[in-house]
Amino acid sequence: MNGEGGAGNGGRRLSAQTVCSAIRDDIVSGYFAPGGRLTEELLAKRYGVSRVPVREALRTLESEGFVRTRKHAGASVAEPSEQEAGDLLEIRALLEPLGAARAAERRTEQHLRVLRGLVRLSQERSQKGQFSDLPALDGWFHQTLAQASGSPGLAALLIQLRQKISWMYAVELPGRSMATWDEHGAITDAVARGDAERARRLTTAHIERWAAAHRLRRAPSIPGAAG
């Protein structure tokens, strides 16, 4: 038996999925910066696993566009071009308003409770200057809104799209958080009223303001300066 894969195939796949999610989260959060090297040995040590699930995770992340592998250089965090990042924003501007409109037509009371609770909690945190949890709450809000569309395929696209955009873009303007959650609250109200056209318009405007407040992340100027 290979010493690196003591678990059965099913366990190995599960382990690879878990490691893949952990590496992806660290890339999106900026722990691993664009261009930073990703060695199997260090990743295995960080996540407490063998190199087998790490290897499988890196292959998956490469297929998703988060990782690039070069011959003789190994794996590194991808460095998206301005064109790639711009394309993602265009796709977001098409899909996210559609998702909000569908949510206005198909949401459940459970979706509304979660959306309203997130808006209320995040507005309170913003008013108190407690900003550390807001990115996670924002992700939860948009994931719930996507799921409220009633379309699993559209929801999966929207969630993956937001992961990519969160990785590629950094916030530019301080003090944007309160305005963001006021906009989220207005979208939630439109969804609650079943007003699909208003939900679509508000989401489009929200995306335009978001784009003005963010800038494309850049690779660190010092080689190998990943976290």
pLDDT at 188: 98
184 and 138 in one domain?
Answer: yes
Q: Does a structural domain hold residue 19? A: yes
pLDDT tens by residue, the chain, 227 residues: 344 444 444 444 558 889 999 999 999 888 998 899 999 999 999 999 999 999 999 999 999 999 999 988 899 999 988 898 889 999 999 999 999 999 999 999 999 999 999 999 999 998 888 888 888 899 999 999 999 999 999 999 999 899 898 888 876 555 677 889 999 999 999 999 999 999 999 999 999 998 888 877 765 543 333 33
Q: Does the residue 223 lie in any domain?
A: no
Burial of 113 (0-12, 13-18, 19+ CB in 10 A): exposed
- Residues 227 and 31 sit within 8 Å (Cβ to Cβ): yes
Q: Do 120 and 172 lie in a common domain?
A: yes
Give which of 211, 165, 163 is closest to 23, Cα–Cα.
Answer: 163
pTM above threshold 0.85? no
| Closest-CA residue to 107 (of 157, 155, 179) | 155
The phi and psi torsions of 170 (rounded to 5 degrees) equal: -115, 150
- Which of these three, 47, 77, 107, is where a domain ends? 77
Tally of domains within the chain: 2
Q: What is the pLDDT of residue 135?
A: 85
For 60, the domain range is 9-77
User: Domain check: are 15 and 113 in the same one?
Assistant: no
CATH number at residue 130: 1.20.120.530
Indicate whether 118 and 66 sit together in one domain: no
Residue 54's domain is classified under what CATH number? 1.10.10.10
Residues 50 and 144 in one domain: no
- Is residue 2 one of the residues assigned to a domain? no
Asked, for residue 227, whether it belongs to a domain, the answer is: no
